[in-house]
Amino acid sequence: MSEFRCTYYDSSQGIQTLGLYHGQDSGNVVIYHNFNVVSIDFKVHQPKSYSFMVNENLVKLNVVKENGKFDYKFEATRIKDEALSTAERVMSFLKRSLNYTTAS
């Protein structure tokens, strides 16, 4: 089983941890934020992307497969403007991605 973890500091929420477990044989994926499960997916054997909200951050997790091995990348964008619609937030996220430092 592969485990990947990303820790960052959020000025309004303190230290935050995003993590992922990925079963090598089963392909089952569990994504968590601190101690809460965000997503569960089954039989993930190919590259895949997940998007979800964590506090005021729109987070994108990419499961990448290169040379038969998986790698995991988190990207997040802080959403400050409460007046934006969900579609505008997603478009804003796609235009300006902020990469957090990751630790395996």
| Segment 66-83, tens digit of pLDDT | 888 888 888 878 776 554
User: Strand pairing partners for 14?
Assistant: 10
pTM over 0.75: no
What is d(CA 50, CA 68) in angstroms, rounded to the nearest whole number?
20
For 42-69, how does the pLDDT look when each residue is reduced to its tens digit (9 = 90+)? Answer: 999 999 999 988 877 788 888 988 888 8
d(CA 11, CA 33): 16
Nearest-angstrom CA–CA distance, 49 and 64 = 9
> Which CATH number describes the domain made up of 2-99?
2.40.128.180
- Dig out the tokens for 72 from the structure: 């995991």
What is the chain's alpha carbon radius of gyration, rounded to the nearest angstrom? 14
